[in-house]
Structure 1
C-alpha cells in the first residue's frame, strides 16, 4: 500500500509539473537535482535489500519520468539540464536492473533503450558504463555470451575505465563471469586476476557515484568469480570464492548474500556433499527463497539436483519439509 501511494504521489507530482499555469516559470536548480539523487540512493538501498521486485522497477521508472518532467517545468542552466538527464538515466538503469534481477528480460530491454538515450543526452560516463555493464549481465543471464561480451566491451571501452581503475576492475570482473559462461577457462582466470589488480590500484578517495560505492568491493569481485567458476564446473574454486564473498559482504547486502549462499550450496552439492549443501541452502531467508525470482529458480534447480543425487534419502526429506515451511512463511 505504501509503495502504491508513493508511486501515485510521484505520478501526480509529475503531472502537476507539466500542467499549464499562469504563474511565472520556476527556476529549476541543483537543489532539484540533489533531491532526485537522494531518491536514487533510496532506490539503490531498496534494491540491495529486496532485489528484482516489480515495485522497485516501477518506482524507479516513475522517478525517471519525474526527472524528465523537470526539464519542462521551468528555466535551467545547461549543467542542471545535463544533471537531470543523468538522473533520469540513473533511474531507468535501476528499473532495467530490477527487471534483469527479476528475469523480466523484455521489460529490461525496454528500460535499457530508454536509459541509453538519456545517458547520451547527459554525457555522464559513469551512468553510460552502468547501463552497458548491466546489458552485459542481462545477456549473460539469458545465455547469450557473445552479446554479453559485446555489451560489456562497450562499457570497458569508455574513458572512465582509464581514469578510474575501479571501473576497469568492475568491467573485467563482469568479463570474467561472461567468459565463464562461454567456457573460456583461461580467459576467465586472466580477467579475474586483472580485475583484482585493478581494484587494488584504485584510489579509495576518488569520487565515485553512489551506485558504485554501494555494491562494488572485494565481496562482489568474489561473487562474480563464484558465478564464473560454477559455470565452468570448477566447484572447489567456486566454493573458495563463495566463502570469500560471504565473509566480506556488507550487512545490508541481503539480496547478494542470498544469491551467494545459493551458489555455495550448488558448489557443495556438485562435490558430493549433500548434507552440507542442504544445510547451506536452508540458511537462506524465506522471503528471498520465495519472492526473489533468481534465488527461487536457483533453489528449484538445487532441489532437483539433490533429488537426483540422493533419491529417497533423509536429506531429501529434510529439504522437502524445509521448502514447505518456506512457502508457509511467505
Structure 2
C-alpha cells in the first residue's frame, strides 16, 4: 500500500511541476493548502489513547485491529492534505506507526498471526520514517511476543534483541526492564530455567531504578508495572513446569492489576487455574477458571484456547468426577450466553 502511495505522490508531484512550467497551463490560483500542525497530531494521539483503552478492556478483537489500521491510514492521509514542518511530519509518521503497532498487537492477541506480520512490516517502515525510538521499541518488542506465541523462540529472541539494543533502553530503565522481562519470558518458553530467573532479576532491578516520569508514551504507562512483570513471570514458569512459582506470580499479579486491565485479569486468572490444576488441586483450579468472565472466555482467542486446554486437562485428571460435571455445565452456560 505504501509503495502505491509513494508512486502516486511522485506522479502527482510530476504533474504539478509540468503544469507549473507549461506556458499554456496558467490558471487562476486556487486556495492555499491547509497548514497541518501539532494540534492535528494531538488529536490523533488522543484517539490512540482510546485504542489503548479498548485493547486493555477487550483485547484481540478484530474490530480493534481494523479501527487501529484505519487510523494509521488516516494519519498518513493527513500528511498529504496540507503543508507541515518536518517535526509535524515526523510526529504524523509516529502516530501512523503507533496505530499500526496496535493493529499488530490486536492481531497477535487474537492469534491472527499472518495479519499481525503484515501490520508489523508496515509499522516498522513507518517507525523508521518517524525516527521515534519508543515506537520502534514497541514494534520490535511486540514482534518478540508474537514469535514466542507462535512457538518460534529463536526468532522471538532475535526480535526482542532489536528492541533491547535501541538507545532508549540505555536512557530509560523502564524500557530496559520491559525488554528484559520479555526476554525472560522467551527463555521460559525455551525451557531455560537459569536464564529465566537471572533475566527476571535484572528486569526487576531495572524497574527499581526507574522513576515515575510522565514523559513515557501512553502505551507504556498504561500497562507496564510490577503486575505485568509478574504476568510475564507467570507465563515463563508455566512453560518451565514450575507450577508453585507460577501460582505465586499469578496471585501477585492479580493483586496488583489496575482496574482497567480487564483482558490481563482474564488471562492471568486462566493461567492461575492451569497452575493449580497442574499441582493436583482440581477443585480450586475449576473454581478459579469459573471466575473468568463469559465475554473473555468466548470472545478472546487466547483465553478461549487456554480454557479449552484447561477443560481437556481437567477431564484427563479427574474423569467422570463432579468437578468435571460442574465445569462442563459452566462452559455450556458460556456458550449459551455467547
Work out whether 1:156 is the aligned partner of 2:164: yes
Q: 1:23 offset after TM fit, Å?
A: 3.0
Distance (whole Å) between structure 1 residues aligned to residue 215 and residue 259 of structure 2: 23
Who is 2:262 aligned against? Answer: 254
Q: 1:205 offset after TM fit, Å?
A: 2.2
Who is 1:7 aligned against? Answer: none
Work out whether 1:110 is the aligned partner of 2:124: no
Who is 1:122 aligned against? Answer: 130
Q: Deviations over 1:159-209 (max 9, x none)?
A: 000000000000000001000000010000001000001001001125100
Distance (whole Å) between structure 1 residues aligned to residue 149 and residue 325 of structure 2: 31
Task: Indicate which of 58, 76, 80 corresponds to 2:66.
Answer: 58
Q: 1:113 offset after TM fit, Å?
A: 0.1
Q: 1:22 offset after TM fit, Å?
A: 4.5
Task: Indicate which of 282, 289, 292 corresponds to 1:284.
Answer: 292
Who is 2:273 aligned against? Answer: 265
Distance (whole Å) between structure 2 residues aligned to residue 176 and residue 282 of structure 1: 29
Task: Indicate which of 86, 93, 114 corresponds to 1:85.
Answer: 93
Work out whether 1:236 is the aligned partner of 2:244: yes
Computing the radius of gyration from Cα coordinates, the structure with the larger value is 2
Runs (4+) of structure 1 exceeding 4 A deviation are none
Q: 1:292 offset after TM fit, Å?
A: 0.3
Work out whether 1:315 is the aligned partner of 2:323: yes
Distance (whole Å) between structure 2 residues aligned to residue 247 and residue 139 of structure 1: 29
Distance (whole Å) between structure 1 residues aligned to residue 143 and residue 211 of structure 2: 27
Distance (whole Å) between structure 2 residues aligned to residue 48 and residue 101 of structure 1: 11
Distance (whole Å) between structure 1 residues aligned to residue 302 and residue 238 of structure 2: 15
Where do 1:1-330 residues align within 5 Å?
22-205=30-213, 207-330=215-338
Q: CA RMSD in A?
A: 1.3
Distance (whole Å) between structure 2 residues aligned to residue 155 and residue 267 of structure 1: 30
Distance (whole Å) between structure 2 residues aligned to residue 291 and residue 222 of structure 1: 24
Q: 1:298 offset after TM fit, Å?
A: 0.2
What are the ranges of 5 or more consecutive residues in structure 1 without an aligned counterpart?
1-17
3-state SS of 2:272 partner = helix
Distance (whole Å) between structure 1 residues aligned to residue 327 and residue 185 of structure 2: 29
3-state SS of 1:215 partner = coil
Distance (whole Å) between structure 1 residues aligned to residue 34 and residue 159 of structure 2: 40
| Residues paired across the two proteins, number | 312
Could you state the TM-score of these two structures normalised by the residue count of structure 2? Answer: 0.91
Distance (whole Å) between structure 2 residues aligned to residue 153 and residue 240 of structure 1: 28
Q: 1:75 offset after TM fit, Å?
A: 0.4
Distance (whole Å) between structure 1 residues aligned to residue 106 and residue 47 of structure 2: 16
Q: Deviations over 1:247-291 (max 9, x none)?
A: 000011000000000000000000000000000000000000000
Distance (whole Å) between structure 1 residues aligned to residue 104 and residue 198 of structure 2: 29
Could you state the TM-score of these two structures normalised by the residue count of structure 1? Answer: 0.93
Q: Deviations over 1:124-161 (max 9, x none)?
A: 00000000000000000000000000000000000000
